[in-house]
Amino acid sequence: MKCSICKKEIEKHVDENGKVYWEEGHNAEPVVDGRCCDNCNYSVVLPRRLGLVYGKQSEEKLKKKV
């Protein structure tokens, strides 16, 4: 499976015995519709989600002050 963001192959997660237990990547929303690799999840998707959460909280605080 390819990453919807960087187009590289999504890494397979293996246990200590080398058995694959997950190979479907991460949810790539809100960046794109699809799945993403570990690197894109940590460097692109999670920062975007946090920005949306903290940005929304900041907007709500500003509205309360007005």
| pLDDT tens sequence across 3-61 | 999 999 999 999 999 999 999 999 999 999 999 999 999 999 999 999 999 887 655 65
Judged by DSSP in three states, 41 sits in helix
Q: What is the pTM of this model?
A: 0.80
**Which residues are 36's β-sheet partners?**
26
Residue ranges of the domains in the chain? 13-65
**Residue 58 CB-density burial (10 A; 0-12 exposed, 13-18 middle, 19+ buried):** exposed
